[in-house]
Structure 1
Amino acid sequence: MSTPHEPEVRFFSAMPPGYQFVPKGDVYITKNCRKRTHEADQPLYVVVSKDHKPLGLRCPTSIYDAVLADHQATASKRADAVQKRDAAIEGSFENTIVKLFPKIPKAAIPKIVSHAVKKHSRRVGRAGTVDLDERVHLAVRAHIRHVHTDYDQLLKAGMGKQAARGKIWDKLNETAKEWGGRSAKVA
């Protein structure tokens, strides 16, 4: 949607003098180009495809150059912050596994954590809309299903997902209970 301070333009429309195309993809660069262009009270152009999907921005070249310089100057600091945040996520996930499944084999914990919270994987450990206890239950149960049952072999043999889940259901619940967790009600 076009706004007065952010008109939409097509990629091949004429570039305003003194402006630079900024492709979408790097959140730091696009966010800061947008912010600084607005602070400078300059128009920011949203470049869209013919079906109006955003492709990037057009902002003043001087602002883009300043943002790029800051991007490079702060790269290691931002990377450290990301590592800290990731370590905190992994730590809280691990602590919650131990709390909810106190008898879980210790060797399974790092495997579950690294698999569940892998970035850009769309896995349950990164789901911001599901509470941590539920994410841990889902991740541990997925680990049990794939590592401690015949689930994957059943799928490879041609069995459907729901049928395979039904077949391994008792073993999954039994293992979850052995580890100190709750059993689930539905496959």
Structure 2
Amino acid sequence: MIATTKRRKAIAEALTLLLPAAPYSEIEAIRAEAGSRHMKELPPSIAVWLATVAHVRHQHTDYEQLLAEGYDRDAARFFVIDRTNEVLTSWRATRLLDPDDDDL
């Protein structure tokens, strides 16, 4: 399902606020994920945050490799949190992952 015009605009605004310096290609991938069907019930800002974290985790960390090596999802997320925050920081993100949060 394609997001409505109002939702697409809200997602674009949330992306601009969260990731002011992210590369265009990264923004477009995150925008597509945030606008996907399984995110439609979430507020745009939350959909953008979840899509951003998932994108960074899968594209810019060793998360997939850790899973392939047998680590469970929570352990793999724990081990990539610093790298995830490094990428977010390089994009001047206005929010980072908190290592003390149970919902990494």
Q: TM-score range by the shorter chain?
A: 0.7 to 0.9
Match of 2:82 in 1: 170
Alignment of 1:1-187 (within 5 A): 86-119=4-37, 122=38, 125-128=39-42, 131-181=43-93, 182-185=95-98, 186=101, 187=104
**Partner Cα distance (2:57, 2:31) in 1:** 15
Structure 1, gaps ≥5 residues long: 1-81
Q: 1:134 to 1:118 in 2, by over 3 A?
A: closer
Name whichever structure is richer in helix by fraction: 2
Which consecutive segments of 4 or more residues in structure 1 shift more than 6 A? Answer: none
Asked whether the 8 Å contact 1:149–1:172 carries over to 2, the reply is yes
Q: 1:118 to 1:133 in 2, by over 3 A?
A: closer
Structure number with higher relative contact order (C-alpha < 8 Å, ≥ 6 residues apart): 2
**Partner Cα distance (1:127, 1:176) in 2:** 25
TM-score (normalizing by structure 1): 0.48
Structure 2, gaps ≥5 residues long: none
How well do the aligned residues superpose, as a CA RMSD in angstroms?
2.0
- How many residues align? The count is 99
TM-score (normalizing by structure 2): 0.80
Name whichever structure is richer in strand by fraction: 1
